[in-house]
Structure 1
Amino acid sequence: MEDPHLSHPKLRARAVTRTFGRAAGAVHALGPVDLDIAPGEFTCIVGPSGCGKSTLLRIAAGLLRPSSGELSIRTSDRRAVAMIFQDYGIYDWKTVLANVRFGLDIQRVPRREANARAEEWLARMGLAEFAGAYPATLSGGMRQRVAIARALAVEPEILLMDEPFAALDAQLRTILQDELLALTQTTETTTLFITHSLEEAIVLGDRVLVMSARPGRVIAARRPPFPRPRSGDVRTAPEFTALKSELWDLLRAEVGTEAAA
């Protein structure tokens, strides 16, 4: 029976694969992957290192082409997709305000409107007083807040996030998870979020997909049993611990497969 959440997906992948290199030296990195993401859904993908999670995200972003299969995105235009990287991806030579306004400048939004929208998102991310600062003067957490503000300022229909909190310490990571949770629950943005953290995936995701060892395929899907709006308090729920244990059992088998290869 078809999942009613996915009858009109925002993102759809069918038999997507990606191979790097040629002939005997070719590496089959991904797939085949079949995937549907519903409008407004926050989907998290977990899997062993090297399983192709980031490759799939880059295909979705249009930065890579699949070797076979098709990935389609249903948006008003390609600019409706924004991506946030682990290494922030912001420009050291631009002020914080100019970084957040960057996508709006590309879209040729009038400067007054662009500044107003950038300033609004800086305020929402607690960065209003740093509008004139440069990234080198900011902490890692603040730089990642700038990256999130820049992505959301363009009001994307689809947000792609590649382990955006992986380089942060545990306490700051928890804070930013909770901030992202609060932000995404106030928008209708469809989000595809790559992470190594099972806790992060369960806190944030409407759905958690587990990928196999390379070449990565989707081998399981789980829906955290926490209705929205939700908060980080779900971390203390018995259901949270049970789901984390179940996901780890699935992943442990794949990590063992990868180690034996």
Structure 2
Amino acid sequence: MGEAPHPNPSTPPKLRATGLTRVFGRGAGAVSALGPLELSMAPGEFTCVVGPSGCGKSTLLRIAAGLLRPSTGQLEIRAASPRPAAMIFQDYGIHDWKTVLANIRFGLDIQRVPRREADARARDWLARMGLTDFANAYPAALSGGMRQRVAIARALAVEPEILLMDEPFAALDAQLRTILQDELLALTQTTRTTTLFITHSLEEAIVLGDRVLVMSARPGRIIAERRPPFARPRTGDIRSATEFTTLQSELWELLRGEVRGAAAVPA
């Protein structure tokens, strides 16, 4: 297997977090959820973050999306547009009262993209995600996997500079999850969109990521970094490689103690 690409150190990072912390509540009931955390992501890099439940992974993503403010420190995104990030949630986050086409076009409508151009871009993503025949269907008529395809298409239709994904396949069955992992892998290798991807799955992180970051139990800090030794473009066939199994075992050894620690801490 070839080496995974390393970012050019002379290129400014797309995303940088410095001394980032987040505390919820005040006084004796305050909960320190995150940090201090340091993170730097190169343009075009696909970074996966794994860690025990409650370690602040989703908090980190919401700060990056501008949905939460950090308690201390800062997170900066180097971007040319005023709305550089698009986010994909575990629960799809699409609108039940809109058709598939209208859902995919939603972000473009917010950006006031002319309707003809917005329709063309939305239909292009319909085709890319295999949803052309469902343009006029409503989400209630779709399977979970198809709904997540709609969410991915909606996010990418606005051509974001950074894509934020919060366990987008966690609610799906194992077979469908594998299919969508492979589809996302092919898609992001084409678009080279800078992506921050939160997951509990070590397999998913290794398949998709240029980098895998391991977070500690709450308050979450980055305690390890690994680069899957698989050159791009890659496919899901790497799951059968010896190097894949070795890295998965290594990551689990790093994570095992943090998972036990998280389970022992009262919520």
Establish whether TM, by shorter chain, passes 0.5: yes
**Which residue does the alignment assign to 1:104?**
108
2:142 to 131, 138, 145: 138
* Unaligned 5+ runs, structure 2: 1-5
The aligned runs of 1:126-165 (5 Å cut-off) are 126-165=130-169
**Secondary structure at 1:227's aligned position in 2?**
coil
Match in the other structure for 2:256: 252
What does residue 233 of structure 2 align with? 229
In the alignment, the residues of structure 2 paired with residue 135 and residue 32 of structure 1 have an alpha-carbon distance, to the nearest angstrom, of 40
- Give CA-to-partner distance per residue, 1:16-66, whole Å, 9 cap, x none: 000000000000000000000000000000000000000000000000000
State how 1:23-62 maps to structure 2 within 5 Å. 23-62=27-66
The aligned counterpart of 2:84 is 80
CA shift at 1:260, angstroms? Answer: 3.1
The number of residue pairs the alignment matches comes to 260
Q: Deviations over 1:86-124 (max 9, x none)?
A: 000000000000000000011111101100000000100
SS in 1 for 2:190: coil
- CA drift of 1:253 comes to 1.1
Secondary structure of 1:132 counterpart = coil
Counterpart of 2:57, as a letter, is K
Q: Deviations over 1:135-186 (max 9, x none)?
A: 0100000000000000000111100000000000000000000000000001
Q: Deviations over 1:201-237 (max 9, x none)?
A: 0000000000000000000000000010000000000
Q: 2:186 pairs with 177, 182, 188, which one?
A: 182
| TM-score, with structure 1 as normaliser | 0.98
- What secondary structure does 1:19 align onto? strand
For 2:264 and 2:163, locate their aligned partners in 1 and report how far apart those are by CA, in whole Å.
35
Q: 2:96 aligns with which of 67, 92, 99?
A: 92
The residue type paired with residue 259 of structure 1 is: A
* Structure 2 match to 1:122: 126
Local SS of the residue matching 2:168: coil
Whole-angstrom distance in 2 between the partners of 1:32 and 1:58: 16
Match of 2:214 in 1: 210
Question: How far, CA to CA, are the matches of 2:9 and 2:116 in structure 1?
Answer: 39
Counterpart amino acid of residue 105 in structure 1:
D
Q: Call closer, same or farther: CA 1:105–1:119 in 2, change over 3 Å.
A: same
Secondary structure of the residue aligned to 1:121 is: helix
CA separation in 2, counterparts of 1:223 and 1:173? 22
Q: Retained in 1: the 8 A contact 2:213–2:226? A: yes
Residues 164-179 of structure 1 correspond to what in structure 2 (within 5 A)?
164-179=168-183
Structure 1 unaligned runs (5+)? none
Are the structure 2 counterparts of residues 101 and 85 from structure 1 closer, same or farther at C-alpha, using a change threshold of 3 Å?
same
State the one-letter code of the partner of 2:259. Answer: V
Q: Distance in 2 between matches of 1:22 and 1:59?
A: 19
C-alpha separation in 2, matches of 1:88 and 1:190: 20
Q: Which amino acid in structure 2 is aligned with residue 94 of structure 1?
A: K
Q: Tell me the SS of whatever aligns to 2:191.
A: coil
CA distance in 2, matches of 1:82, 1:148: 9
Query: Letter of the aligned partner of 2:64 in structure 1?
Result: A
CA contact (8 A) 1:6 1:36 kept: no
Normalized against structure 2, the TM-score is what? Answer: 0.95
After superposing on structure 2, the runs of 4+ consecutive aligned residues of structure 1 that deviate more than 6 Å are none
CA contact (8 A) 2:7 2:42 kept: no
Distance 1:6 1:83 in 2: 28
**Helix, strand or coil at the partner of 1:101:** helix
CA–CA separation in structure 1 for the residues paired with 2:73 and 2:90: 27
One-letter amino acid of the structure 2 residue matched with residue 12 of structure 1 = R
